[in-house]
Structure formats: structure tokens, C-alpha cells
């Protein structure tokens, strides 16, 4: 048997196994893992499939075999700066990653002992959605048989991705999913589930930043918990003792000094628990709230602020007849008072969101969509309170698909201290404190909506309802 025939049979067998391993019933990530594992076993190279995020600007390792964790966590790749196969749609070869300008992290390649790289774009509907990359630890020239094998494998990966019904050119399945990651702390898993819920792409512990070194010796590193590619934002969660929180603040301050272009935010335990409680998760969701600890905004203060917002809207939309869109149920009190004070013609509509389960996955579902056609109309989203901006970001993207003439945001309460998604707010009432608030439409487990003021509830402080 000739050597060429033996190689062809090896590749034929590998492709058959790859096809057999990509089951319709399996998740996309499991199927991609099976593909890269077979590539690595067949060629004795390290292999990875990288997927573009929804903005088509970032690449992240979605499935890999044979690559070290430090190399995988070197950072999310810029699609325009990394190798080049995404933009050209062509197979790209790099003989020496240590001195090639197309390599975004050459120092990490050196540390990982990676020398040569072949990158094959994964193309769906004539558009690159990702890449299959193979890495060698010795200088290697890839021959035509190897390239043909890898091209066949990427075509299989493209079929697997396409049957997930992705939006064209995007990575609809998340770069990571909460059920497929081993988290260091339960709070991280809960936060990941929340991101999954809103279909926000994330990567867990994607990069370790060097903070301090002594000569060639690394003294201190910092690895943020999450990276959100679409927002270009790192997030660090803290549920630890205060002295350790202080240490994290110091590290983040140092990181910002050394890497001024890196965006990072720290979510404290209370911030996270209150955020999770809004979606029925975390410890606060298991407690009860009885009574009001403190009134934050009186009925008179709210009334004055509503009048100010109404005047501003009336002036801005004097001849535009805007559509006011209320979100969920918390907006009811605010919107009812607001529309009575607006002096120009308006239309009103409502939206509601919930989530549904599809197998092991949770996703956002709009349970009440608009009845009004908003194409070429000026739309004002009316919210009771904006915290992280995650909900609002999702809904704005949904509404933009209807081609409105303009899309503005109006909220009574703006809690910027918890913002994750930076969304411009056109009309706002109060800069909300970092407290859990109820009243004037805001609830805790459906209680307190009908209070005429806004206050801080007693959460879990009493075991009995007051008589």
C-alpha cells in the first residue's frame, strides 16, 4: 500500500468519524468539540474552532483540543487584526508565529511553544462566520493533502453551524453557555445564566492581565471573570469579604493604569443579588419583604419630576406624534401620569418579555409585542427603572428592526452605578441610589406596586408580616 493511499484512507476515516460525531440532538459546542478533537487526533496537531461574535469584530475559541489554558485565555481576538483568513475568506498559512505581524499575541505563542499555523475560514452563505486553526510545535509546511482534509472538515463545521439557523454572518449560539463551563463560584454561574437569558455573548475568564513583574518573573496577574465581546467589556464579580473586595479594587485600578483601553467593571455582591432577584434567581428571590425601611422619593417629588419630563417631550415632539412604548408592568404608574402631562398628540403601546426553555437552553421571549406599526414613527421607550441596561439593549435591537424614524428612551429612575450596557438615556427623572426600590409601579414579588411613593423595603428582616 502506497503512502499516499494510506493518507487518503486516514483522512477518509477521520471525515467519516467527524460526520458520525456531529449529531443533530447535540449542542453546537459539543459538535464543534468533536470536530476539533478528531482533527487533533488525525494530524497530531493542536486545533481550535473560533467563532465570530454578533458584531463580526471579535473571535473567540469556541472549541479546542491540545491548546493550553494560558494560550486560550490570552484574550479575545480582533477579527481584522488576527491572521486574516476571516476578511479574505482564504486559507492562511503562518510559518513562524513569533515574528509574523498578522499574529495578535506572538509572545503568548512563544510561551505556548507554537510555531506554525494554518487557518481555514468557515463559510456559511458566502460569509465567514469563524475559522478552523491548526497549530504545530515544530516548523511545518502544510501540503495539499492536509489542506484538502482541513477544507473538508471546515465544510462540515459550516454545515453544523448553518443548521443552527444563525443570523447571516453571526454567532447566534453564545461563545460559551453556562451549562458547559465549570465555574469557580455559584454566583458566576447565576450571572452566566442571566447573560444566556438575554442572548449576550460571553467568555469565561478569557484573559489574564500582567499587573506586576520582577525582571522576567511574573509576580501578579489578574483574570476577570467574564468578557462580553459585543460590548468590549470585562466584568469581575465579587462576593467576598471586604478586605478581598478592596484588593480587587486595587487590582482593577492597576489594570486600568496599565491597560487604559480595556473597559472593566466590578459587580459587588449586593449589586449581583439584587440584579438576580429581578429574574427570580439568587438568595433574595427566596426572601420576603414586609414594610418600608425608608422613603426615597415622595409622591410630590415624583409628580414634579414627571411634569418636567412631560414638558421636555412635548417641546421635542411638537409635530411628530410619538409612540410611547411601555415595558413590562412597572411602567404603569409612571406612564399613566406622564401621558396626562404631555400636551402633544401621542399614541401608546406596550411590550412584555419573559423567558422560555428549549431543552437545556433559556432564551428571551417577547410575550406581548407592539400592535402599532412603528415604521417611520418616532418611538419613546418608557421604563420605570434602568439598571444594567441589558433588558433595554435587547428590546432596542428588536425595535430597530421595525425601522422607526427615531428611538428614544425615557425612564423615571436611572441607576448608572449598575450599568453594564452603556445606552444613552434621553429623558430621566432621578439618579437612583444603589438600593432595591419598590413603589410607584416597582414591586417585590408583586407587592408594593400601588404605593404612591418610592422606598426601600425591609427584605428578610422580619419573619412575620406586621399586624
Contact predicate 208/32, CB 8 Å? no
Q: Return the C-alpha torsion angle 19, 25, 26, 31, nearest 10.
A: 20
| pLDDT band at residue 373 under the 50/70/90 scheme | very high
Report residue 466's pLDDT band, with 50, 70 and 90 as the boundaries. Answer: very low
Asked whether the whole model's pTM tops 0.75, one would answer no
Higher pLDDT, 377 or 332: 377
Average pLDDT of the segment spanning 210-230: 83
Q: What is the pLDDT of residues 241-257, one digit of tens each?
A: 666 778 888 899 999 99
Lowest mean pLDDT among 85-89, 139-143, 159-163: 159-163
SS (H, E, C) 243-288: HHHHHHHHHHHHHHHHCCCCCEEEECHHHHHHHHHCCCCCHHHHCC
Domains of the chain as residue ranges with CATH: 3-162 (3.30.450.40), 178-285 (3.40.960.10), 292-459 (3.40.50.2020)
Task: Find the range with the poorest average confidence among 83-97, 172-186, 299-313, 417-431.
Answer: 172-186
- Residue 341's pLDDT band (boundaries 50, 70, 90)? very high
**pLDDT at position 382:** 94
Instruction: Write the CA distances from 288 to 277, 281, 284, 379, integer angstroms.
Output: 11, 14, 8, 37
Statement: residue 219 has pLDDT above 60: yes
pLDDT tens digits along 38-49: 999 898 899 999
* pLDDT value of position 347: 95
Q: If you average pLDDT over residues 364-380, what whole number do you get?
A: 89
Residue with cell 441607576: 415
What is the pLDDT of the chain when averaged over all its residues? 82
Q: Provide the CA 214 distance to its chain's centre, in angstroms.
A: 35
Res 246: pLDDT: 82
Stronger pLDDT, 188 or 119, i.e. the higher one: 119
57-61, 169-173, 189-193: lowest mean pLDDT where? 169-173
Selected residue with higher pLDDT from 314 and 237? 314
Please report, rounded to a whole number, the percentage of residues in the chain having pLDDT higher than 90: 29
Check whether 307 has a pLDDT greater than 70: yes
- Average pLDDT (69-89) is 80
- Burial class for 22, CB neighbours closer than 10 Å (0-12, 13-18, 19+): buried
Residue 186 C-alpha cell reads as 455559584
Higher pLDDT, 462 or 441: 441
Give the mean pLDDT of 324-337: 88
What local confidence, expressed as pLDDT, does residue 289 receive? Answer: 63
DSSP H helix total and E strand total for the chain: 12, 20
Is residue 387 flagged as an active site residue?
yes
Is the pLDDT confidence value at 28 over 60? yes
Q: Is the pLDDT of residue 457 over 60?
A: yes
Q: Is the pLDDT of residue 297 over 50?
A: yes
Top-confidence residue, 150 or 419: 150
Q: Does the pLDDT at position 261 exceed 60?
A: yes
Look at residue 200 and tell me whether its pLDDT is greater than 60: yes
* DSSP helix/strand/coil, 30: helix
From the candidates 196, 271, 337, 387, give the one annotated as an active-site residue.
387
Amino acid at each position: 500500500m502506497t503512502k499516499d493511499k494510506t493518507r487518503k484512507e486516514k483522512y477518509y476515516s477521520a471525515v467519516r468519524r467527524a460526520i458520525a460525531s456531529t449529531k443533530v440532538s447535540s449542542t453546537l459546542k459539543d459538535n464543534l468539540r468533536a470536530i476539533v478533537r478528531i482533527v487533533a487526533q488525525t494530524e497530531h496537531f493542536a486545533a481550535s474552532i473560533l467563532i465570530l461574535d454578533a458584531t463580526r469584530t471579535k473571535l473567540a475559541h469556541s472549541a479546542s483540543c491540545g491548546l493550553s489554558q494560558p494560550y486560550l485565555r490570552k484574550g479575545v481576538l480582533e477579527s481584522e487584526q488576527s491572521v486574516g483568513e476571516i476578511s479574505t475568506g482564504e486559507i492562511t498559512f503562518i510559518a513562524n508565529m513569533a515574528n509574523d505581524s498578522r499574529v495578535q499575541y506572538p509572545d503568548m505563542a512563544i510561551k505556548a511553544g507554537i510555531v506554525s499555523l494554518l487557518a481555514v475560514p468557515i463559510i456559511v452563505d458566502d460569509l465567514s462566520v469563524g475559522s478552523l486553526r491548526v497549530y504545530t510545535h515544530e516548523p511545518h509546511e502544510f501540503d495539499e493533502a492536509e489542506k484538502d482534509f482541513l477544507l473538508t472538515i471546515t465544510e462540515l463545521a459550516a454545515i453544523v453551524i448553518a443548521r443552527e439557523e444563525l443570523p447571516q454572518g453571526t454567532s447566534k449560539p453564545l461563545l460559551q453557555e453556562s451549562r458547559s463551563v465549570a465555574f469557580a463560584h455559584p454566583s458566576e454561574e447565576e450571572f452566566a445564566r442571566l447573560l444566556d437569558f438575554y442572548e449576550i455573548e460571553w467568555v469565561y475568564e478569557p484573559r489574564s492581565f500582567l499587573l506586576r513583574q520582577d525582571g522576567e518573573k511574573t509576580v501578579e496577574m489578574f483574570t476577570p471573570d467574564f468578557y462580553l465581546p459585543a460590548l468590549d467589556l470585562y466584568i469581575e464579580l465579587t462576593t467576598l469579604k471586604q478586605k478581598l473586595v478592596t484588593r480587587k479594587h486595587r487590582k482593577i485600578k492597576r489594570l486600568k493604569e496599565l491597560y487604559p483601553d480595556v473597559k472593566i467593571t466590578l459587580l459587588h455582591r449586593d449589586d449581583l443579588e439584587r440584579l438576580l432577584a429581578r429574574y427570580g434567581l439568587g438568595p433574595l428571590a427566596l426572601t420576603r419583604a414586609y414594610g418600608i425601611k425608608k422613603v426615597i422619593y415622595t409622591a410630590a417629588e415624583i409628580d414634579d419630576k414627571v411634569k418636567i419630563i412631560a414638558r421636555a417631550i412635548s417641546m421635542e415632539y411638537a409635530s411628530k406624534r410619538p409612540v410611547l412604548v411601555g415595558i413590562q408592568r412597572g411602567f404603569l404608574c409612571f406612564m399613566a401620569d406622564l401621558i396626562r402631562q404631555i400636551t402633544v398628540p401621542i399614541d401608546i403601546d406596550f411590550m412584555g418579555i419573559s423567558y422560555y426553555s428549549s431543552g437545556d437552553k433559556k432564551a428571551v421571549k417577547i410575550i406581548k409585542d407592539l400592535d402599532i406599526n412603528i415604521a417611520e414613527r418616532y418611538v419613546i421607550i418608557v421604563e420605570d427603572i434602568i439598571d444594567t441596561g441589558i433588558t433595554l439593549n435587547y428590546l432596542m435591537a428588536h425595535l430597530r428592526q421595525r425601522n422607526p424614524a427615531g428611538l428614544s428612551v425615557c425612564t423615571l429612575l436611572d441607576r448608572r452605578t449598575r450599568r453594564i450596557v452603556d445606552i444613552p438615556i434621553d429623558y430621566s427623572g432621578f439618579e437612583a441610589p444603589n438600593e432595591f426600590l419598590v413603589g410607584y409601579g416597582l414591586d417585590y414579588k408583586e407587592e408594593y406596586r400601588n404605593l404612591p411613593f418610592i422606598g426601600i423595603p425591609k427584605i428578610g428582616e422580619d419573619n412575620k408580616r406586621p399586624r
